[in-house]
Structure 1
Amino acid sequence: MVSPLILFRALADPTRLRIIALLRRMELSVGELAQVLGQSQPRVSRHVRILSDAALCRRRREGSWVFLGLGPAAVPTLFATIDGWRDSATEKWELADAARLEAVQADRAAAAEAYFDAHAAEWDAIRSLHVAEAQVETAIVGVLGGQPLGRLVDIGTGTGRMLTLLGPQSDSAIGIDRSPEMLRLARARLGEAGIERADLRQGDMYALPVKDAAADTVVLHLVLHYAQAPAAAIAEAARLLPPGGRLLIVDFAAHEQEELREREGHARLGFDDEQIAHWFDAAGLASAATETLAGGALTVKLWLGTRAAGDRRLKAVA
């Protein structure tokens, strides 16, 4: 618990108040903050350190980048107090900062678009082999429909499409990806879609940066075929689920498109129902639903597993 004295000392500076106002809008790197504030990075870092010591902001590393967000001491009652002190001078710099923040968002979107354009041919080559994405997404919503999504975790979030699709129906959403470039792309896409409650984190599918039983719905969308150890990835995903939690895997049925292993780095050429059911069971999950979407050279499958009420076991994976 941070004392009021520490909090108000931390906020007793116009630049730090501006930083808090900006972080209320979105996560930003130190470099982006410096760009908006028109100050040097060392100076901004000093202000950030003071805010961090007061638990008003938090740091989150993403590859070589460090993003800043609001910390646990930044509570609504504090915001109400700050807002109550607004005057004409405050509104003037808030408007100026908001305009510069739009420029930062535009830079993000441009960089993300350039990355997407550079890799679009790879993704489009795979998409052409299976049913339309709209059909897959309709099936995803259908399989998950009828129950609240609660706390959503999307593993291997890539461009953030699952967060865009399912985030509005969730209480909170976390997207995890190993690639900082993909996370930057996802961040831009989520901003364009107006998804504000999604938290993007860099992490590995075998060691997810999420606590045990911290999710109600976990999604592995076209990710498992990249896993050298899919059983371990499923077990790690299941670790996030409390009793009643659900894991949805969307991937390819077993196929013989060997060129995807060489050209696209696929570690597995799809999966069959028996494999997934075995790995679900080993992770303490019961198979709840299976759906098949045939079309083209690749068939897309949806497998839904649930953790039984009162069952928190994790068996050894084969």
Structure 2
Amino acid sequence: MTKALETFRALADSSRLRILRLLRTMELSVGELALVLGQSQPRVSRHVKILCDARLAERRKEGSWVFVALGEAELVDPVLAAIDAWDGGVPDHDGTTDAARLAAVRADRASSASQWFEAHATEWDAIRSLHIAETDVEAAMRDVLGEAPLGRLVDIGTGTGRMIELFAPRARTALGIDRSSEMLRLARAKLGEQGLGNAELRQADLYSLPLGDGAADVAIVHHVLHYAQQPGAAIVEAARVLAPRGRLLIADFAPHDREELRSRDAHTRLGFSDAQIEGWFATAGLDAERNETLEGGELTVKIWLGRKPGAAVHEVKAA
């Protein structure tokens, strides 16, 4: 009874109900919530604190930003189901307005990142090398994936195609996916020089991969996730295209406080903890199989490997 009282008290405000509905769509910073709700940041922070105290939401500080996400599923899911039943699926005025403002926030995020990628495409590999020795990262990725053939490989956010260049010789087929046409132009030029006949590049979004369910044996997300507006959703989509026993390899940064990377390099997230990635793996139906820490350079790089459960439905043949 006590928990029920706390929950209903926390929800006894239209702004907090709106926040809960927005967080259902994606994680948002307090500043973004304030923009969508049309309220001051201090006021929104107070609402967020009440939701967090009731375990309906959770906060995570990243540099000067505070991101807010839905709280514990066993508590939040029944609440959302009840709200859906009471609303009858008919959007109200606030819901329609919030959805439009949220779309604008998401478009602004995507536009900032897209402009940065287009402006820096020719120096992309050099920028990566400033953070940590890429040769060390690549060696660790090879070690984590092992020496066996990779089967059907997909590189999500392929950039200039380095992961395809590195791993396609061990794959039956290799598909590199990126939103940026300029990145893909550079990747095509690079891969054309390598003569990789089993490699293909395609323009698409990491939240909507142009692949059917179970179409890949290995998916790689290399230094991409910190640009993602919805990292958890990107992991769920990557898991969708994996066959049973398929593997998802993520290489990205550990949590850090290099705030200037937001404005200078368009990073949306300042690294990820093991708990965050493993939580997203669990949501996506993946087993967390291995993680590695690579210290050195300006930032620490992490490598996480998740595997989809089940019996393999085909034998991975040598490349």
TM-score, normalised by the number of residues in structure 2: 0.59
Q: CA deviation at 1:216?
A: 0.2
Q: Indicate conservation of the 8 Å contact 1:116/1:185, yes or no.
A: no
Q: Which residue of 2 aligns with 1:4?
A: none
Which amino acid is the alignment partner of residue 171 of structure 2?
Answer: S
Question: Greater relative contact order: 1 or 2 (C-alpha under 8 angstroms, separation 6 or more)?
Answer: 2
SS in 1 for 2:229: coil
- The answer to whether the 8 A contact 2:118-2:180 is kept is no
% identical equivalent positions: 56
Deviation at 1:242, TM superposition (A): 1.3
* Distance in 2 of aligned mates of 1:123 and 1:169: 22
Could you give the per-residue CA deviations for residues 69-108 of structure 1, whole angstroms, max 9, x where no partner exists? Answer: xxxxxxxxxxxxxxxxxxxxxxxxxxxxxxxxxxxxxxxx
- Looking at structure 2, the residues matched to 282 and 227 of structure 1 have their Cα atoms a distance apart, in angstroms, of 17
Q: Whole-Å Cα distance in 2 between the matches of residues 118 and 274 of structure 1? A: 32
Alignment of 1:28-177 (within 5 A): 119-121=121-123, 123-130=125-132, 132-177=133-178
SS of the residue corresponding to residue 204 of structure 1 reads coil
**CA distance, structure 2, for counterparts of residue 162 and residue 290 of structure 1:** 19
Give the direction of change, closer, same or farther, for the CA distance of 1:267–1:288 in structure 2 (3 Å limit): same
Tell me, yes or no, if the aligned pair for 2:124 and 2:160 is still in contact at 8 Å: no
| 2:212 is the counterpart of 1:205 | no
Alpha carbons 2:121, 2:182 under 8 Å: kept: no
Aligned partners of 2:118 and 2:182 also within 8 Å: no
Query: CA shift at 1:167, angstroms?
Result: 0.1
Matched, 1:306 2:307: yes
1:265, 1:118 → 2: CA distance? 11
Distance 2:127 2:163 in 1: 20
Match of 1:243 in 2: 244
The Cα of 1:148 is off from its aligned counterpart by 2.4
- For residues 232 and 118 of structure 1, the distance between their equivalents in structure 2, rounded to whole angstroms, comes to 26
Distance 2:142 2:124 in 1: 26
Shift of residue 297, structure 1, vs aligned partner: 2.1
The whole-number CA distance in structure 2 between the counterparts of 1:122 and 1:171 is 27
Q: How far has the Cα of 1:296 moved from its partner?
A: 2.0
Q: What residue ranges of structure 1 are gaps of 5+ in the alignment? A: 1-114, 313-318
Cα deviation for residue 240 of structure 1 reads: 0.5
Q: Distance in 2 between the 1:236 and 1:118 partners? A: 27
Is 1:259 aligned to residue 278 of structure 2?
Answer: no
The Cα RMSD (Å) is 2.1
1:143-188: per-residue Cα shift (whole Å, max 9, x none)? Answer: 0014321000000001000001000000001000000111111111
Task: Say whether the 8 Å CA contact 1:293–1:301 is kept in structure 2.
Answer: yes
Q: Secondary structure at 2:202's aligned position in 1? A: strand
Matched residue SS, 2:250: strand
Indicate how the Cα distance of structure 1 residues 195 and 126 shifts in structure 2: closer, same or farther if over 3 A, else same: closer
Q: C-alpha separation between the residues in 2 aligned to 1:269 and 1:118?
A: 20
